[in-house]
Amino acid sequence: MADAITPKEVQALRHKPVDVALLNSNDVRRLIFDVFAHFSHLAPADWFLQHFDPEDMHLDFGPVQIRDHDGFRAWYTDWLAHCPWEYHEISGIEVAGDATGGFHAQFLLHHTGEWQGGPGEINVAMTEDGPFNRLLRETWRLKVSGGDLKITYYGADFILL
């Protein structure tokens, strides 16, 4: 009769990779933090676009639906024209999946900043000038392409505005 597996072994084996070179859930977490650090620094659109799959891109920000790189550029140009600064605090990251089948991530995002100039051309939900403080539930789907993570779906549901 085989020895029973211990709880410690169960926990360790849960994280044992098939191949240590493959991307894993920590790479997903790293990308999440990297993306929002770049948003906080108002990075150029091309920095973000390298992380979106140009053939399978779905961004769902409530009234704003983006399906391609040109749509992201237009949305982000409008955002930058009205938002001189923003800050993002990430918590509760949950990641499922693997490098072969893709990843699914959910997390909370506390998003603060300042809006100026009335409603944007694309960002129509931002109607009031001044500071904003909101809580969002973010959902991402990612795939591995050419050894890199590519975001295929990015959804943001507003919990608190």
**What domains appear along the chain, each with residue ranges and CATH number?**
20-158 (3.10.450.50)
User: With a threshold of 0.85, does the pTM exceed it?
Assistant: yes
Supply the pLDDT for residue 104: 98
Handedness of CA 120, 126, 131, 135 (dihedral sign): negative
Handedness of CA 53, 135, 39, 94 (dihedral sign): negative
Cβ atoms of residues 66 and 57 within 8 Å: yes
pLDDT exceeds 90 at position 122 = no
84 or 63: whose pLDDT is higher? 84
What number is the average pLDDT over the span 112-131?
83
114-119, long-range: CB within 8 Å, 24+ apart, which pairs?
A: 114/83, 114/84, 114/85, 114/86, 115/82, 115/83, 116/82, 116/83, 116/84, 117/81, 117/82
pLDDT at 1 over 60: no
Average pLDDT of the chain is 90
